[in-house]
Structure 1
């Protein structure tokens, strides 16, 4: 058997394993766990770190202020050195919309050993602790919540006795590049951190989605959040790992009415979103980078290549193995496309999107070794601590 046949068979074997042995990562039916009505509703403080978010704040912040929550709740927006009037706009929105009490604070520039976002989160949690909340909702400034979002999150946490409940916000998919890249982004994340494994107390897999994290305040103190993860670029995974590592029970699933309002109209915008943290995910390890590139090539690129080359050269076993692997790949991607309301015809294009992610990952490493690291909104973290693996 030729090398092409062996490689195609290896890719097919990998897809059989991914289909059945990777926590059914491709299923998109994991929503908030079953929940009942708590006897008494715990107090909640919402912490929103925001840096130069004036363009999206008018859509997101009013949705938090309008939360229909039966217990005591208030919002703390932390203006992380914005230059676009984010803090002033937040105060104006608070006056205009009313609803939950709003406090706008600013922590100043982060010291060495801290990312800007986590320094802002630290400041927000510090302000919130004066209210002695039982839960903290950590949410990004570009996330819009349905009116009952906080109520449903808290009900799930209380009913399931979870220390952390996180929802992967539904990202925007309107431009051509968003349609190609965004569903695959969530698909790859779920493949790396299967949601069904995360809730298992005996599993080491831990992850959260930073746009929407409900965290029990006592669990945050036990895990030393955010001080224990102050330099983490992939802060949501690091947070979940710290909480689970300290004995916490965590849950992650897909959202139905928690949406990101941030647009990514150009490929450049999406490229920057992925590449700024991809090499950190690989712990800045060249060997892991090489293995990832090889793995992406074998798993995602070999199937269509084997099918086409096999048909052209008459290597029918290679064509059959490659075609079946491509079929399995496409089948596992279709549920995510349905979740995002995208045409199923985009399914066979996943190898092309995977190739873009391969280039984004390599570019992330190149930027790291050029000293630009995880550049984001005017700050560069040249050598941040890597987020822990699953």
Structure 2
């Protein structure tokens, strides 16, 4: 009797996982597709002025591979780069000035000093950069990170897409580096999970779904002023999502898609490096809510862990229904992951390993909560934010 009840519970759980995957496959904005690229665009008659703002803290290791690509932008209009040296101890500012001597767009290096209470370091640096840029009266601001390398026509394509589509924000999720074993296992899944939470096709619509990718955000300057960016989101650790929500809340239009020639040059060779990247903001994404944490853990277990467990348990006990249902759920999961692996030019045999990667993300999320309750909060480059908010809470 007890054994029968256990088998029935396993079968029903596997069936629930399969239903969840069928819903994700068909009803979650086709998140698994990777064909959301820059929308159709034509060249404007007059190219608007753009100021590029680059917050940088201890980025000397990656700056030579990223900053020259910004300075070498082939942009028909007026453009200028503002790098904000956020208290670096590795000579980031001096290196930026040295790289600028090679020619290209004008570069200004500023320093904002330490952020006041209530501000994250990055957003304080962005605020300073926008303040410097405001004197040039740009029509657009390109907010990009110091580890992002842009193709020569990147700025031109972003502006053309924004003007043609009437978007206040055009953001591209940079292609992250995938070279080490752990990067191959974790990085494509990171983008896959992000798209599952924020389906790109829904972001461009009029609904509430809003997100951006902080490494590459073209923002209309008038919209930034109207939405009080970055002041209104000054405490946000997940600042790109907060920015997009603030813009959409004010009636602006947002577009987000995958990049074709915008790449992150930052290496994450070890699991420890990737773990820190995810865990520093995972609990902030859940708004520091224990109930949301429990629901997320349960959801990850049902969707990603139950299928392989059902297959193995079903085969071990000779219970075909559990194995079949779990196998079908695993098959759907694997199929939805294949497009992302192709986008990252990775071998497709990695697709069935997604449950293992999801288990790692589950542990990273729990660790993020543990660190928060130990008072460490979101720590990054020598700064700790005890209780940041993931979304704007001001008008």
Q: Does the 8 A contact of 1:284 with 1:386 survive in 2? A: no
Say if 2:348 is the partner of 1:344.
Answer: yes
Say if 2:290 is the partner of 1:290.
Answer: no
Say if 2:214 is the partner of 1:210.
Answer: yes
Offset from partner CA, 1:112-141 (integer Å, 9 cap, x none): 010000000000000000000000000000
Q: Distance in 2 between matches of 1:240 and 1:84?
A: 32
Identify which of 162, 168, 171 aligns with 2:173. 168
Say if 2:361 is the partner of 1:357.
Answer: yes
Q: Does the 8 A contact of 2:233 with 2:392 survive in 1? A: no
Describe how 1:33-182 pairs up with structure 2 within 5 A.
Answer: 33-95=39-101, 97-182=102-187
Aligned residue for 2:376?
372
Q: Does the 8 A contact of 1:26 with 1:190 survive in 2? A: yes
TM-score scaled by structure 1?
0.98
Q: Distance in 2 between matches of 1:210 and 1:363?
A: 23
Aligned residue for 2:195?
190
CA separation of 1:18 and 1:388: change in aligned 2, threshold 3 A:
farther
Identify which of 15, 19, 33 aligns with 1:9. 15
Say if 2:327 is the partner of 1:323.
Answer: yes
Q: Distance in 2 between matches of 1:123 and 1:387?
A: 21
Describe how 1:216-231 pairs up with structure 2 within 5 A.
Answer: 216-231=220-235
Displacement of 1:315 in angstroms is: 1.4
Say if 2:30 is the partner of 1:24.
Answer: yes
Q: List runs of 5+ in structure 1 lacking aligned partners.
A: none
Describe how 1:265-276 pairs up with structure 2 within 5 A.
Answer: 265-276=269-280
Q: Does the 8 A contact of 1:67 with 1:99 survive in 2? A: yes
Displacement of 1:311 in angstroms is: 1.2
Q: Distance in 1 between matches of 2:323 and 2:118?
A: 51
Displacement of 1:314 in angstroms is: 1.5
Offset from partner CA, 1:21-41 (integer Å, 9 cap, x none): 000000001100000010100
Q: Does the 8 A contact of 2:115 with 2:124 survive in 1? A: yes
Displacement of 1:388 in angstroms is: 6.6
Say if 2:317 is the partner of 1:308.
Answer: no
- The SS at the match of 2:61 is helix
Q: Distance in 1 between matches of 2:392 and 2:275?
A: 22
- The SS at the match of 1:159 is helix
Q: Distance in 1 between matches of 2:85 and 2:375?
A: 27
Offset from partner CA, 1:216-261 (integer Å, 9 cap, x none): 0011011100000000000000000000110000100000000000
Moved more, 283-292 or 379-388: 379-388
Q: List runs of 5+ in structure 2 lacking aligned partners.
A: 1-6
Q: Distance in 2 between matches of 1:368 and 1:381?
A: 9
Offset from partner CA, 1:169-207 (integer Å, 9 cap, x none): 000000000000000000000000000000002x10000
Q: Distance in 2 between matches of 1:208 and 1:79?
A: 23
Aligned residue for 2:338?
334
- The SS at the match of 1:10 is helix
CA separation of 1:388 and 1:308: change in aligned 2, threshold 3 A:
farther
Q: Distance in 2 between matches of 1:250 and 1:12?
A: 33
Q: Does the 8 A contact of 2:143 with 2:219 survive in 1? A: yes
Q: Does the 8 A contact of 2:232 with 2:392 survive in 1? A: no
Displacement of 1:312 in angstroms is: 1.2
Q: Distance in 1 between matches of 2:255 and 2:378?
A: 27
Q: Distance in 2 between matches of 1:98 and 1:90?
A: 12
Q: Does the 8 A contact of 2:246 with 2:392 survive in 1? A: no
Offset from partner CA, 1:323-369 (integer Å, 9 cap, x none): 00000000000000000000000000000000000000000000000
Equivalences, count = 387
